[in-house]
Amino acid sequence: MVKFTLCLAACVASATAFAPAAKTAFGTSLSAKQDFLEAEPYYDQSTVPVNVYKNKAPFTGKVVSTKRIVGPKATGETCHIIIDHEGDFPYWEGQSWGVIPPGVREKDGKPHAVRLYSIASSRYGDDMTGKTGSLCVRRATYWCPELKADDPAKKGICSNFLCDSQPGDEVMMTGPAGKVMLMPEEDPSTDYIMVATGTGIAPYRGFIRRLFVEDPPAGNVYKGQAWLFLGVANSDALLYDDEWQSVKEKFPDNFRLDYALSREQENKKGGKMYIQDKVEEYADEVFTKLDNGAHIYFCGLKGMMPGIQDMLKSVCEAKGISYDEWLKGLKKAKQWHVEVY
């Protein structure tokens, strides 16, 4: 297949960057077609798995690899973690896994609560066998102004467990969770506008691999445009940039990419370039796409949404549109997708 041939090098490079050397342990070779985990028809969402594994009876996965994926000048550490589920924990792009960190809480001796993480791979996993899934996790730390150092007592329990994990470590997992971020694949001309801050990039990596890198039926017929907006602090904090650039080079008409680098770029008012400022630069195009049926997704820290909503409201006012009615229409048509944390 032409598309698959064009992308094979990118697939191998991308999967190799994160997958273990002994990929044969996961079964299928990279040359296999990705069509064995599809619904019938492939866009039918009636069989999407939800909450198959729960807190009281979690699934036990095993870490395949953990890799730091940001540069030395990034604000914090972000890791890409591949987990082997042996094909027993299926999920769809846009869903999340729950992770229960080991140990108990100091205050009451009870097990730690579940932390949800958006899955950062397609349903076929980075090795495309259907037996692994990936997470994109930023290590949560707390800088103590008195100590003038990170306070280990206040670090994020789950994120540090995952970022410190080693191959073979067991991970207690729940889910898969959520349907709000699924792609509506019935119309292959649907445009997707994907807005992320930081590790909110995770679900979009699954989307983009499905649409452009792997060989599933949805990708083979896709003729719309996927537009990715990613906001991070600086160039060293960019996530999966090599993958996005590869897709952009091979599918320039179907994939667009825009970054908001708050510590390196300025917005039109001379301030820091945040994600809402970058989207605003293309407000007319974004609104036109949404009027024509595009779906827009937001994923990242919940603090991103007030700025986004204020920007959209001001654009609506400039266009003489009621923001509340406009947003109500998008939600009614199921074109508005938000997952923030």
In DSSP terms, 260 is beta-bridged to 231
137 has which bridge partners? 79
Question: What is the spatial distance between Cα 53 and Cα 174, in angstroms, rounded to a whole number?
Answer: 5
Instruction: Enumerate the active-site residues.
Output: 117-118, 299, 339, 341
- Residue whose structure tokens are 């997704």: 297
In the chain, DSSP assigns E strands to 59-68, 78-84, 96-100, 115-118, 132-138, 143-144, 149-150, 170-177, 192-197, 226-232, 255-261, 295-300, 336-340
Among 251, 201, 188, residue whose Cα is nearest residue 229: 201
